[in-house]
Structure 1
């Protein structure tokens, strides 16, 4: 009996670490939210919308619009609900012409990152455009970091993956910008849509990626390098085409700091809770 008892104990001791590893949550942290997901309701009633977001358990946000309020007014609404703003998104021209205002708004909101999500261009994205982008990004990033203590991030949008040499123009931008001043926010839909592998790109460039937009693409939709698709092609995570678990594994390895849910569709009342539940369900 003693031998059998000890054999069982040894078996349990051997299996327990494996079981613990198997049941380890793949995404243990809470996701954040991009304000654009709730753009319509935030424009009508910011306070009530922030209550809805908080009721989903969200306490980390990325704003790309102040919805008619000052940064201080929005900060007061956030503070009252225990919500933090970690990233502030602005337009390219704002960085070129209103840098001080952008930086002040970001700091007032409490953000550590300033993000731009679109490079103005006409037609296909070209090498000349990428070269000008590199020059601008290094300039924006240096001012934001050295003068204001903020980190500049670029959010990819799909058109930057035009082929170039042995890679793409996105590779060119990453490789020619200064890591001290320029970081990136991966939008996983706008990486997958032009035919790229988000997990492979995360593995390739590691901690150049600081932020991430979590979204999924409706099954059957074919991508391209236009940088555009119907908002209704955004679906709840885990119901579309994108391999979310593989991306999350690569993102954790890369050291992504903030994960924001973005859903541009008209179905956020049902899809946002689905997405949150899906993230909570994932195990290694």
Structure 2
């Protein structure tokens, strides 16, 4: 992990970035906070060319996206052209579609179909499909979690992972262990923390919850992660303050490592 490879997930700012001006303002604030990259997800219907222009204007790389599954199945060429315009290699899917959930066979079918999409992205456009989990993938089917099924049944070359470490923890998994399980297949990771409030897990800024982030970052580094994306689905303070707190913590980790 380097400072330049820590990105902000735009889903955190989905309310602020629904218009072109809102996106411009958000990019500017993130750059001022200290981010050098973003993942595009949840923004409004803004022309991709303007998104690129605004990212360039604020000196922000676009490291990854989340794309609706129907666009991946029906508009793959347009999706690829959008990513090439943005100089963005990683084509993300934020959640398994409803129709595949609830059974081992459903997840196997999804793994096969998404692998075929990933093969096309790789072979025709030199792009990489990555899958973002939630906690539902830790439901068990015949003794295996859906995550295990996805890992085993998908094409290792075409189906990448974008582990969300909060949701791994929420599902009962060990985040650092899962980073090693997907070694070589995860170039983008999602970072957010978990606090317990009134007996329930809630979203927290990285380094301000109960998760073992030094161990998680070390596992990500050891397994070849390229982009470390800060996300907070719900913030209990101003979201820009939240992502600054997360970034400050990650910078502190980097400084601490220099002295070890």
Q: Which residue of the other structure, out of 220, 244, 251, is the alignment partner of 1:280?
A: 251
TM-score relative to the length of structure 1: 0.82
Q: 1:263 and 2:258 equivalent?
A: no
Which 5+ residue runs of structure 1 have no aligned equivalent? Answer: 1-26, 224-232
Q: How does 1:163-174 map to 2 (within 5 A)?
A: 163-165=140-142, 167-174=144-151
Kept in 2, the 8 Å contact 1:33–1:61? The answer is yes
**Hey, what does 1:253 align to over in structure 2?**
222
Kept in 1, the 8 Å contact 2:161–2:185? The answer is yes
Whole-angstrom distance in 2 between the partners of 1:77 and 1:123: 37
TM-aligned CA deviation for residue 204 of structure 1:
2.2
Which 5+ residue runs of structure 2 have no aligned equivalent? Answer: none
**Hey, what does 2:12 align to over in structure 1?**
37
TM-aligned CA deviation for residue 253 of structure 1:
0.5
Q: How does 1:103-122 map to 2 (within 5 A)?
A: 103-121=80-98
Q: Which residue of the other structure, out of 75, 93, 104, is the alignment partner of 2:70?
A: 93
Q: How does 1:116-135 map to 2 (within 5 A)?
A: 116-121=93-98, 125-135=102-112
Whole-angstrom distance in 2 between the partners of 1:125 and 1:33: 31
RMSD value, Cα: 1.8
Whole-angstrom distance in 2 between the partners of 1:29 and 1:175: 33
**Hey, what does 1:78 align to over in structure 2?**
55
**3-state secondary structure, aligned to 1:40:** coil
TM-score relative to the length of structure 2: 0.90
**Hey, what does 1:237 align to over in structure 2?**
206
Q: Which residue of the other structure, out of 152, 160, 168, is the alignment partner of 1:191?
A: 168
For the pair shown, the structure with the greater C-alpha radius of gyration is: 1
TM-aligned CA deviation for residue 122 of structure 1:
6.1
Q: Deviations over 1:31-57 (max 9, x none)?
A: 111111111111141111110011011
Q: Deviations over 1:183-229 (max 9, x none)?
A: 11010011111110010111222121111111012224546xxxxxx
TM-aligned CA deviation for residue 166 of structure 1:
5.2
Whole-angstrom distance in 1 between the partners of 2:102 and 2:175: 20
Change (3 A) 1:63 1:125: same
Runs of 4 or more above 6 Å deviation: none
Q: Deviations over 1:87-110 (max 9, x none)?
A: 121011111111112111111111
Kept in 2, the 8 Å contact 1:90–1:116? The answer is yes
Whole-angstrom distance in 2 between the partners of 1:260 and 1:99: 24
TM-aligned CA deviation for residue 238 of structure 1:
1.7
Whole-angstrom distance in 2 between the partners of 1:74 and 1:83: 11
What is the total number of aligned residue pairs between the two structures? 249
